[in-house]
Amino acid sequence: MPVGDSFVARLGPAADERFAAIDDPDDEPARPRPGPETPIEQLRFVAVDCETTGQSPHRLVELGAVAFTLERHLISLETLVHSNDRINPFARRIHGISSETLGGAPPVRPVLERFRRFCRGAVLVEHSADAFDSRLIAATLGESLEADNLDTSRLAAKLYDLRDTIGLERLCVELGVPHRRPHHALADAEATMGCFLELIRRGREPFGWRTLGDLLADGQPPPPRWVDGETGAHRDDAARRRRGGKRRRRGRPAGDAGSQPSVP
């Protein structure tokens, strides 16, 4: 399959939001990594989601990300990613990406270099209790992204007092967040952003979430790891993050009464 030199979108924008290009000039002001004392109103967040070949070693085939603050959407990034690796049939059935789909998509290195600039000075947000997405990106780059990250499934577990994780699609239903196309990286990133904002709205007062440190205490997954570009130790992201299953609730949820899950 031919390799391209510009982003190839699979889903496209939901409205008229700004979109990043692979060759955007690097003229944005430097944004330092925020400290734990930073108020959440001052933070820039980047919700991220990856789709992969679905087998060891995992290879990226799609990346979606949304930069935002508590007040507004800033800019989105979406692209398919070229890969010559075999795509696992199970993963292909879930995300619908085949080898033919990737024709003309850019190689992974410029995509991730652009993503690194995209999330500079931001806090990563993913729906992944083991930080699969940021681990995969860091492993592919061969170095850390130098960013804190938050997991919406952990924040949801705090809000609802759950011992088990909750899938992204089910969390969207519980929180009333639209999800326009499950298993598409950009749509999943948008849904993760929506869930994160709603979780903050419901949990901010009950749990005293006022600074980055407060959020990290309740929502930080294990730190991203990288090992010389190898990503073979990871499980299939699509099966892991979107699987169903019962959730065990320890007690009543915090926040308003409408936030209680309908299924025990």
The pLDDT, as a whole number, for residue 35 is 97
- Residue 18 in any domain: the answer is no
25 within domain boundaries = no
Residue linked to tokens 């940021």: 134
Residue 224 pLDDT level (bands cut at 50, 70, 90): low
Average pLDDT over residues 12-33: 86
Q: Is 199 among the domain residues?
A: yes
Token pair in block for residue 245: 């299953």
Confirm whether 257 is domain-assigned.
Answer: no
Q: Return the structure tokens found at 132.
A: 């699969």
Q: What is the pLDDT of residue 222?
A: 81
Instruction: Tell me the per-residue pLDDT of 92-128, one tens digit each, with 9 for 90 and over.
Output: 999 999 999 999 999 999 999 999 999 999 999 999 9
| 19 domain residue, yes or no | no
Length in residues, the chain: 264
Q: Please give the tally of structural domains in the chain.
A: 1
Instruction: Domain of residue 170: give its range.
Output: 40-226
254 within some domain: no
Which two three-digit tokens encode residue 238? 């699509």
Whether residue 11 is contained in a domain is answered as no
- CATH no. for residue 95? 3.30.420.10
Does the structure show a pLDDT above 90 at 132?
A: yes
pLDDT tens digits along 48-78: 999 999 998 999 999 999 999 999 999 999 9
Structure token pair of residue 102: 């990737």
222 found inside a domain: yes
Q: What is the pTM of this model?
A: 0.85
